Structure 1
Amino acid sequence: DTNLNGFTVLTYNYHAGNTNGGAVQVLHTSDNNRFWRIKWGPDDAPYGEWNNPPFSDFDILYADTLKPPFDDCDTLPDNTLVIYSTGLDKAQNSPQVNHGAVLTFNLRKDKLGKFQL
């Protein structure tokens, strides 16, 4: 799209340097639209069509203190962006970093296919 001022594409798979089994790509545009697509199979398998998440607006929650549901990344509400100013490493099921943000959204309307960044 020649009208975009910028965008970011993130590609994730379960094994660095090898996409056997599948990969997910997430595209963020400069006007805050988000799209995703998935491929299954070996490295040369094609990606599916770009999809727009059913929810494009995210509730932003600032977690200055750990309290439910912010104390466990497995139980964060869908379609939320939780920003930990400090203490993310104390939350259950989180990476061992002190501060950061966790974006949780559904890829499908039926609640299957959740994705966290």
Structure 2
Amino acid sequence: MQTWKQQVRKLKKETYAIYLACKDSRVPWYARVFAGIIVAYAFSPIDFIPDFIPILGYLDDLLLVPLGIILVLKMIPPAVLEECRQKAEAAMGEGKPTNWIAAAVIVAIWLILGILAVIGVGRILKR
């Protein structure tokens, strides 16, 4: 159990380091865009696939986020990444940042999908 907690802490630190790297001009633009998407999703309080959906709800947390982090870590220059890791470790005591903009986008997507589902069901019932 202790190893699991250490891995989670490391993942949080890496995610925050990526967040810091997003702001660094030494990181290529495509890496900053991809990193921004990954960090926004990781820090969002709302998942694209809600956790209450069996199996699929946890797949994004267990697979998509770690895979995205691994990919973006390969895109960031090593010197910049090490500097951001040091800054992240120093800042982790302040708490986990939350990205409310990403949460709003995900809520908007769910609302749009819900509206489209209601419209689709309404059209089916009219036939």
TM-score by length of 2: 0.21
TM-score (norm 1): 0.22
Identify the structure with bigger relative contact order (alpha carbons < 8 Å, sequence gap 6+). 2
More strand by share: 1
Structure having the higher Rg = 2
